[in-house]
Amino acid sequence: MTVESEQSIQQYREQVWGELIKIARPDSRFHWDFSRFIPDFPGSDRCSDFVMGLDAYAQLGDRQIFVTPDNSTEDLRRRLILDDRPFLMTTYGLRRGFVLVDPADVPPGEARYAATLDGADHYGRALSLSELAAGRPVGMLVTGGSAVSRNGIRFGKGHGYFDFEWALFSELGLVDGGETVIAVMDDCQIIDTDLPGEPHDVVVDWIVTPSRCAGTGRGPRGPGAIRWDLIPGSEFEELDLLDELKEVLDMGQE
Amino acid sequence: MREHHESLRASVRRGLEKLALEQDLSDSTPIPPERELMERFDVSRGTLRSAIGDLVSAGLLRTEQGRGTYVNKEAQARLLVWDRLADVARPDSRFHDDYRQFVPDFVGRDACDEAVQNLAAWKNAATVFIAPDNSLGGLRLLALEQGKRVLVPTYGLRRGFVLLEADLIPPEQRPLAATLDGMESLGTCVGVAAVPEFIDGVDLMVSGAVAVTTQGIHIGSESRYLAVELAVLTQLELVSHRTPLIVTAHDCQVLEVDMELSTVSCVASTVVTPTRVLHCGAHTGRARTVSRTDERRVLRLVNAAIDEEVS
């Protein structure tokens, strides 16, 4: 990524954060520090309605759904539990890998609890990468974010977790380009312009806000690849998951 | 040359850290003098001083002009206990196993909750302050199930307190209300200065700890949130020196040592572990000293909160 685009992205991010702080809900640990979490906002329940109303959701069949551990997707996780639909998520910052939340493990009345990050630690099942790789393909990915452009170029907190996660799914053969990627955002997080994006950006198919559900008409996607060249010196370097990933990918080549 | 100096400094730093951690916790004498350490590590005064300076900024050592260099006993206790926690602690949903950031839940905690329930201080309390520690989720839930009012600070008191009232939370939502992620949406968020409008007083305080001594000296995180919270509630006249403080901890967090009180802020009336209940009555008389720095922070917090509510 060029220095110039990095700067303008940070500008967009801070511009949006300035609006977002007026409506966002604080995090239990990080308060208002949007560089550390993606906040929930009023109306995120309407976003869940839009996501679950998409044909892509109805047509998932036995393909899995992945939801990022953002606060803005908490209501959607609650709704998925109520809809009896297991979902994949990561632990915060991928530090303890992937988790499967299966509604069968959640007692009646506790969907809302299980949908929080504290609750996912309580009711979720840790999944190793080999378990993940042996599982069913992923047909839908839902993520929050800091901002998204009209044509579906999305920015997160500035760490690149979602792009990494999608690339990982791609390397494990869990996505093939036909998957639906959805960004859940408040209206104030939409940048009303088209942005060029970078080759490793995962362009989203749908931008869902409390007021609308807009398709971006993105072109073909993938296949994705882990950018091993970007890992040294980044926070990804410390992840236990990387060693496991190397092992799983080596096994695949034999 | 510069690189050589840097690696030498790092190795002296490690040597000093080892020396500090191996000092007896009840030993409050200074570490050996400069000349002796220069010989031991075979380095110049400059290198030794930069390494000491590093550990002073990290909080493990403190230098007193003309007297020598001392080990900060609280910092030493934290480092010793963090090392033991890995086997028994449960990770946090955001901070994982970074124990500098949070007080973890631990294996055997149910037995702690059971023992706390049987204490008269718990039974008699209608309004309980419970710290936002992961090890106290069970007690927050229990308090709600028993119809108590629960006052929980937000992390670092940054956004005031949350008041959880059993009557206002449906039974099936109480497990969620007992978590940090759930309490704000199910409880009432109360600014620091507004707490007296909601409650007349706190009957009992319950906290976790990084470490606690058998005499009840509470060692929390470096930010000493409990001391600040205690001082805020004292300032608001909601607690007094007679309010009991129960500290729960895993046995590996309990230090069998007679540490000096001077640098410590809070003393428990009772310490509860999965296997023991320690009554620490002896110390309550001189308990809860608040350091000058903490006092200033408290005044700042209370004043800021009042300003905010006025404007």
Q: Are the beta carbons of A129 and A250 closer than 8 angstroms?
A: no
Q: Are the beta carbons of A198 and A1 closer than 8 angstroms?
A: yes
Mean pLDDT for the stretch of residues A192-200: 84
Of B46, B41, B45, B78, the C-alpha closest to B59 is B78
Mean pLDDT for the stretch of residues B30-51: 95
Mean of the per-residue pLDDT values of chain A: 92
Closest residue in A to B134 (Cα) is A118
Contact B155 A31 (CB under 8 A): yes
Does residue A178 register a pLDDT over 50?
Answer: yes
Q: How far is CA B2 from CA B11, B41, B52, B57, B137, in A?
A: 14, 18, 18, 21, 50
Is B183 part of the contact surface with chain A (CB cutoff 8 Å)?
yes
pLDDT at position B286 is 41
Mean of the per-residue pLDDT values of chain B: 89
Is A85 part of the contact surface with chain B (CB cutoff 8 Å)?
no
pLDDT at position B2 is 64
CB-neighbour burial class of residue A52 (10 A; exposed 0-12, middle 13-18, buried 19+): middle
Pairwise CA distance, residues A128 & A130, whole Å = 5
Domains and their CATH numbers in chain B: 2-71 (1.10.10.10), 109-310 (3.40.50.10420)
Handedness of CA B48, B53, B54, B60 (dihedral sign): positive
**Which band of pLDDT confidence, cut at 50, 70 and 90, is reported for residue A252?**
very low
**Which band of pLDDT confidence, cut at 50, 70 and 90, is reported for residue B156?**
confident
Mean pLDDT for the stretch of residues B221-232: 85
pLDDT at position B298 is 65
Helix (H) or strand (E) holding A124: none
Q: Write out chain B residues lying below 8 Å of A30, CB-based.
A: 94
Give chain B's largest Cα–Cα span. 69
Contact B183 A31 (CB under 8 A): no
pLDDT, tens digit, for every residue of B171-220?
A: 999 999 999 999 999 999 999 999 999 999 999 999 999 999 998 989 99
Closest residue in A to B171 (Cα) is A109
Is A96 part of the contact surface with chain B (CB cutoff 8 Å)?
yes
pLDDT at position B60 is 96
pLDDT, tens digit, for every residue of A77-111?
A: 999 999 999 999 999 999 999 999 999 999 999 99
For chain B, give percent helix, strand, coil, nearest 5.
45, 15, 35
Interface of A with B in 27-56 (CB under 8 A): 27-31, 37
Interface of B with A in 204-223 (CB under 8 A): none
pLDDT over 70 percentage in chain B = 87
Backbone φ and ψ for A213, nearest 5 degrees, come out as -130, 105
Q: Write out chain B residues lying below 8 Å of A109, CB-based.
A: 172-173
**Which band of pLDDT confidence, cut at 50, 70 and 90, is reported for residue B310?**
very low
Mean pLDDT for the stretch of residues B113-135: 97
Alpha helices, H only, chain A: 3-20, 44-53, 55-58, 74-82, 111-114, 117-123, 129-134, 161-171, 241-253
Is A116 part of the contact surface with chain B (CB cutoff 8 Å)?
yes
pLDDT, tens digit, for every residue of B263-299?
A: 446 889 999 999 999 998 654 434 455 556 666 666 6
Contact B181 A31 (CB under 8 A): no
Mean pLDDT for the stretch of residues A215-231: 86
Does residue B304 register a pLDDT over 80?
Answer: no
pLDDT at position A139 is 97
- Residue B132 or B286, more confident: B132
Mean pLDDT for the stretch of residues A117-139: 96
Residue of A28, A30, A119 lying closest to B184 (CB–CB): A28
Among A178-187, B48-57, B77-86, B294-303, the minimum mean pLDDT is found in B294-303
Mean pLDDT for the stretch of residues B35-50: 95
pLDDT, tens digit, for every residue of B251-270?
A: 999 999 887 765 446 889 99
Helix (H) or strand (E) holding A89: strand A87-90
Q: Write out chain A residues lying below 8 Å of B182, CB-based.
A: 112-113, 116, 118-119
Contact B181 A119 (CB under 8 A): yes
Closest residue in A to B98 (Cα) is A95
CA A62 centroid distance within chain: 20
pLDDT at position B269 is 92
Size of interface A-B (CB pairs under 8 A): 67
Pairwise CA distance, residues B152 & B309, whole Å = 20
Closest residue in B to A108 (Cα) is B172
Q: Write out chain B residues lying below 8 Å of A126, CB-based.
A: none
pLDDT at position A8 is 83
pLDDT at position A1 is 46
Chain A: give the shortest CA distance to residue B239, in Å. Answer: 25
Pairwise CA distance, residues B176 & B169, whole Å = 10
Of B82, B192, B95, B87, the C-alpha closest to B134 is B95
pLDDT over 70 percentage in chain A = 97
Residue listed under structure tokens 């000096």: B260
pLDDT at position B258 is 82
Q: How far is CA A23 from CA A41, A48, A64, B212, in A?
A: 6, 18, 32, 41
Mean pLDDT for the stretch of residues B234-258: 93
**ipTM of the prediction greater than 0.95, yes or no:** no
pLDDT at position A101 is 98
**Which band of pLDDT confidence, cut at 50, 70 and 90, is reported for residue B307?**
low
pLDDT, tens digit, for every residue of B140-151?
A: 999 999 999 999
Mean pLDDT for the stretch of residues A125-139: 96
Does residue A254 register a pLDDT over 50?
Answer: no
Pairwise CA distance, residues A63 & A69, whole Å = 20
pLDDT over 90 percentage in chain A = 78
pLDDT, tens digit, for every residue of A37-68?
A: 999 999 999 999 999 999 999 999 999 999 99
CA A99 centroid distance within chain: 13
**Which band of pLDDT confidence, cut at 50, 70 and 90, is reported for residue B1?**
low
Domains and their CATH numbers in chain A: 3-63+136-253 (3.40.50)
- Residue B173 or B235, more confident: B173
Pairing of strands A190-191, A147-149: parallel
- Residue B177 or B5, more confident: B177
pLDDT at position B285 is 38
